[in-house]
Each structure stands twice: as C-alpha cells, then as structure tokens.
C-alpha cells in the first residue's frame, strides 16, 4: 500500500462509522482522489521527458516560478503541493452538483468530514454527477451541474498541478494557485463565504504583487479587464437574485411565483447580452447562460465574495503585511460564525464599501 493510501483508508472508515454522507459516495470520492495521486509525476521529471510538449514544458516552468513566489513573497505554505503534475485526460477534475427548491434560492446542503456543510456535492465523473442531479430533479429540485478545474485537499495531500488548468493564461494560473494555497493557510469548516472570500483576497493581492515584478503590461491589463467582467457579471446576477428572493418570500401564489421566476430569468439573460456588448467580443459567461437557467444556477453566485471588501480592509489595516493579515484572519476563525460575520461587518465600517475586484497595478 502506498504511503498516502493509509490516510485515505482511514478517512473512508471514519466516514462509514460516523455516517457522513453515505458509504457509496465516499468510496467514489476516495477512488477519485487515489486516481489523482497515482497519476502524479514530479514536475522535474515531466520537464525532462522528451515526450512533453513545448507548451506544457513552458507552462510547468511558469508554475515553478509562481509556486516559489507564493511561498517566498506571499507567505503561503512551502510544501510539495503543485510541485507535481497529473494529466487526468479529462476537462475537469470534478463536477459539482447544486440544488435548490423550485421556488427558493436556499441551496441544499451536504455535510462532510473536515469540510463541514457545503452547498454542493462533487463527483470525479460527469456521469455520476448527472445521475445524482437527475435524482434531485425527480424530487422537484432545480439543479445545476458545473465542471471544476481545481480544488484543494486543504493540505491533507500534496495537490498536483492538473491538465485541467495548466494551460490557462499567466494571470489566471497565478490566481488559481494563490487561491488554492490560501485554503491551506486557513479553512473554517462549514463557512464557505468566509473561506472563499479570504482566498479571493489572497488571489487578487497575490496576482497584483506578481505583476509588480513579473509578466508583461498587456497581461496585467487583460487580467484587470477579466476581473472587471467578473464583477459586472456578479453584480448583474445578484440584482436578479435579490428580486427573485423577495418575490419567493412574498404572499404570491405558487403560480404567480413561477411566472415571475420565468420572467426574471429571461430578463437576466437579456441584460447579460447588453452587458456583454461592452466587452469587446468577450463571452466569459456564455456557457453559463447556454443552460436552462434556474435557482440552482443563481444560488452560489456572489457567495464567494460576501466578505471580500472586509478582508481587503483588514489587509489595509496591516499595511499590506500578509503575515499579520493571516494571523488576524485566524483569530476571526476562532470566533463563532455569528461573531465572525459581525466583526467583519464592523470592520467594513459602512455599507457603501465595495470589494476592489480590480487590482491596482500602479501601486
């Protein structure tokens, strides 16, 4: 048995004994993780392999520089994560299933060891994800299945670079690595908004600092524009999400709520076309809109950025000292969820503060 199979076997045993999720699902999850670990090869080995394509070799060399920068300049964990490479021969590492009631934006929750309760359930194969989604749909839920290029094992294992994200742009690759490594600095079980907002701030700050010393000006500009598009998309969806939430909470009949839902989603689609017209031909979210929109699509949008502005303010208070920032965030993590949210709200100091999704590369 390879050395990493022991903790995997232990996790599976604990899952069965404690009754988390169900044994079948955990067997699938453990098998998927074993596949990834078995396919890992040290980056140095891949670089020296004559069969490695020039593009892959170029990207892996970039990953090495980004990985060193993450630990040396951003204070992120200096371990073996992202020091190996695995080609999974598929476009995504996992597919997440999201579900909501037909007339509600409250996501269905699934609870797992260590990760706590989250608003999605991940599968290493698309057919299993689609099969589970079909079961939920039969029960009357709105469902959405989305492919995920990367995820963090939170330091339990040395996560490899994957083919599912290796060939991204320099800025996107940097942001993804910094974001996932941030989860190894801190992860609070059952508080997705806190975890993802923190990792997003590390991502944005890390990419800003990377481009202060590396990369070309046109790459920084392209990244700024992409983040701007992400903010505009999020703002648009949150507007319609708020309208739907208010209508679902009203005393209207179910028939009226269904009609309002259809109209709101169609208006969202129409407004996206208008917003996109100002993006110079970029269609970042076209695939998202190609699906039949429903509540499950909308439920998670914005959740990852709930506390971004508050965390950015906290980083400012530490004069950009990431070590001190991490220490303060860990102190917040020791509070109850209610106390954390209240503290972050006070730190924001006013409702008009907004997350600075656009990094200032002139700093």
Which two tokens mark 290? Answer: 């190609």
The pLDDT of residue 9 is: 46
Which two tokens mark 229? Answer: 């598009």
Q: Are 208 and 72 within 8 A, CB to CB?
A: no
The pLDDT of residue 115 is: 65
Region class of 63: left (phi > 0), else alpha (psi between -120 and 50), else beta? alpha
CB contact set of 275 (below 8 Å; sequence gap of 6+): 232, 233, 236
CB contact set of 292 (below 8 Å; sequence gap of 6+): none
Which two tokens mark 269? Answer: 């689609």
- In degrees and rounded to multiples of 5, residue 99 shows phi and psi of -150, 145
Q: Are 240 and 295 within 8 A, CB to CB?
A: no
Which two tokens mark 4? Answer: 């990493």
Q: What is the pLDDT along the chain (363 residues), one digit of tens a residue?
A: 344 444 444 444 344 333 455 778 888 888 899 999 999 999 999 999 999 999 999 999 999 999 999 999 999 999 999 999 999 999 999 999 999 999 999 999 888 766 678 888 999 999 999 999 999 999 999 999 999 999 888 888 899 999 999 999 999 999 999 999 999 999 998 898 999 999 999 999 999 999 988 877 788 888 889 999 999 999 999 999 999 999 999 999 999 999 999 999 999 999 999 999 999 989 999 999 998 899 999 988 887 788 999 999 999 999 999 999 999 999 999 999 999 999 998 887 654 444 454 444 333
Q: What is the pTM of this model?
A: 0.88
Q: State how far Cα 272 lies from the chain centre.
A: 22
The pLDDT of residue 15 is: 43
Q: Are 125 and 63 within 8 A, CB to CB?
A: no
- H helix or E strand, kind and range, residue 42: strand 41-42
DSSP string across 20-41: -S-HHHHHHHHHHHHHHHHT-E
CB contact set of 306 (below 8 Å; sequence gap of 6+): 193, 197
The pLDDT of residue 30 is: 86
Q: Return d(Cα 201, Cα 183) in angstroms, integer.
A: 12
């Amino acid at each position: 048995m390879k050395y990493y199979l022991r903790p995997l076997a232990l996790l599976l045993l604990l899952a069965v004994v404690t009754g988390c999720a169900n044994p079948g699902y955990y067997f699938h999850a453990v098998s998927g993780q074993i596949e990834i670990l078995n396919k890992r090869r040290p980056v140095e080995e891949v670089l020296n392999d004559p069969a490695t394509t020039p593009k892959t070799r170029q990207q892996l060399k970039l990953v090495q520089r980004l990985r060193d920068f993450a630990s040396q300049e951003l204070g992120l964990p200096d371990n073996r994560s992202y020091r190996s490479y695995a080609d999974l021969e598929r476009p995504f590492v996992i597919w997440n299933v999201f579900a909501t009631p037909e007339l509600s934006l409250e996501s269905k929750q699934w609870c797992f060891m260590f990760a706590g309760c989250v608003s999605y359930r991940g599968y290493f194969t698309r057919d299993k994800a689609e099969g589970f989604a079909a079961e939920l749909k039969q029960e009357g839920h709105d469902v959405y299945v989305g492919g995920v290029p990367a995820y963090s094992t939170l330091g339990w294992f040395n996560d490899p670079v994957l083919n599912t994200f290796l060939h991204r742009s320099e800025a996107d690759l940097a942001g993804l690595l910094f974001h996932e490594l941030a989860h190894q600095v801190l992860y609070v079980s059952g508080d997705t908004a806190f975890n993802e907002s923190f990792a997003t701030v590390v991502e944005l700050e890390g990419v800003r600092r990377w481009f202060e010393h590396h990369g070309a000006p046109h790459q920084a500009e392209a990244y700024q524009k992409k983040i701007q598009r992400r903010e505009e998309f999020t703002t648009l969806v949150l507007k319609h999400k708020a309208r739907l939430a208010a209508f679902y909470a009203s005393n209207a009949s179910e028939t009226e709520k269904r009609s309002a839902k259809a109209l709101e989603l169609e208006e969202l689609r129409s407004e996206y076309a208008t917003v996109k017209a100002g993006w110079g031909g970029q269609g970042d979210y076209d695939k998202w809109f190609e699906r039949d929109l429903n509540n499950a699509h909308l439920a998670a949008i914005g959740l990852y950025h709930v506390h971004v502005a508050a965390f950015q303010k906290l980083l400012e208070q530490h004069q950009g000292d990431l070590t001190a920032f991490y220490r303060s965030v860990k102190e917040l993590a020791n509070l109850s969820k209610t106390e954390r949210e209240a503290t972050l709200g006070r730190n924001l100091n006013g409702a008009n503060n907004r997350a600075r999704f656009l990094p200032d590369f002139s700093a």
